Amino acid sequence: MMKIPASHPRYKSLLYRHRVVDGFRKGFVADAGLIAHGRGEAFDYLIGEKSVKEAIIAQRAAVAAIHLSKNPVISVNGNTAALVPGEVVSLAEVCKAGIEVNLFYRTVKRENLIADILKKHGASEVLGIGDHMKMIQGIESERARADLKGIWSADLVLVPLEDGDRTEALRKMDKCVISIDLNPLSRTSQHATIPIVDNVVRVIPNMIEFAREMSNWGKDRLEETVYGFDKENNLETMISLMREGL
């Protein structure tokens, strides 16, 4: 991987960009994943590349919802595996959630490479690999695949960097969908139960911290945090902030 001097004014942004490029070179990030990352960078620029108040509110509501759920699953694609593999494994551990590989541009090679990365970072089980799969209705792409033990039976799915069709389909299956997508206008953000408009590289570490903090909260307090979340208002504020940023 290319060495970026730590003194570079855009060190962090370049570091993450190179992680995605490196993932592409190793064969587990799709070429379209590079474009998706660039689009994310542009939105991130407009919010000052930081987790703004509304994003934190959404992340806290999301963690409370995960703690209330019975069978939460974190869906992982190539970009997420390139950017925050260890953090995803830690979050799954703290939240007792499953981890499932799910790819738009699926190949068995990419699937296995991602599973290996997650296992190298400590995941004991990675779902979404093998033949115990069902196809979710209403999705044209390979993303329709869902593990019977994972997303198929989950009551809550955390979907970083998702596409709108799958978010809609998962909602139709009555699952609580938490999205992480820097674009507040995407169909994913619009359809998710709790959309988080923030960079996945900040969101997952934040969520680990909140999950630890809320681990001994009672049901009432968790429910209050979830039901207090106003999705429309949150997305509107994110759009206004981006307009101001511009």
Q: In the complex, which residues of this chain contact ligand ATP (CB under 6 A)?
A: 36-37, 39-40, 43, 161, 163-164, 180-183, 186-188, 199-201
Q: How far is the CB of 34 from ligand ATP (least distance, A)?
A: 10
Residue 36 or 154 with smaller CB distance to ligand ATP: 36
Cα separation, 5 vs 142, whole angstroms: 39
From 135, 67, 121, select the one nearest 96 (Cα to Cα): 67
Residue 72 or 78 with smaller CB distance to ligand ATP: 78
Beta bridge partners of 159: 179
Residue 59 or 188 with smaller CB distance to ligand ATP: 188
Q: How far is the CB of 197 from ligand ATP (least distance, A)?
A: 8
Supply the Cα-derived Rg of the chain in whole angstroms: 17
Residue 161 or 176 with smaller CB distance to ligand ATP: 161
Cα separation, 16 vs 133, whole angstroms: 32
Q: How far is the CB of 80 from ligand ATP (least distance, A)?
A: 8
DSSP character at residue 47: T
- Distance set, CA 144 to CA 138, 163, 166, 168, 173 (Å): 8, 11, 7, 12, 12
Query: Tokens in use for 90?
Result: 């830690």
Cα separation, 180 vs 88, whole angstroms: 13
Residue 68 or 117 with smaller CB distance to ligand ATP: 117
Cα separation, 168 vs 193, whole angstroms: 10
Q: How far is the CB of 114 from ligand ATP (least distance, A)?
A: 16
Residue 41 or 223 with smaller CB distance to ligand ATP: 41
**151 phi and psi angles, rounded to 5 deg:** -60, -35
Residue with smallest beta-carbon separation from ligand ATP: 40
From 138, 114, 139, 141, select the one nearest 128 (Cα to Cα): 114
Q: How far is the CB of 224 from ligand ATP (least distance, A)?
A: 27
DSSP character at residue 123: -
Q: How far is the CB of 185 from ligand ATP (least distance, A)?
A: 8
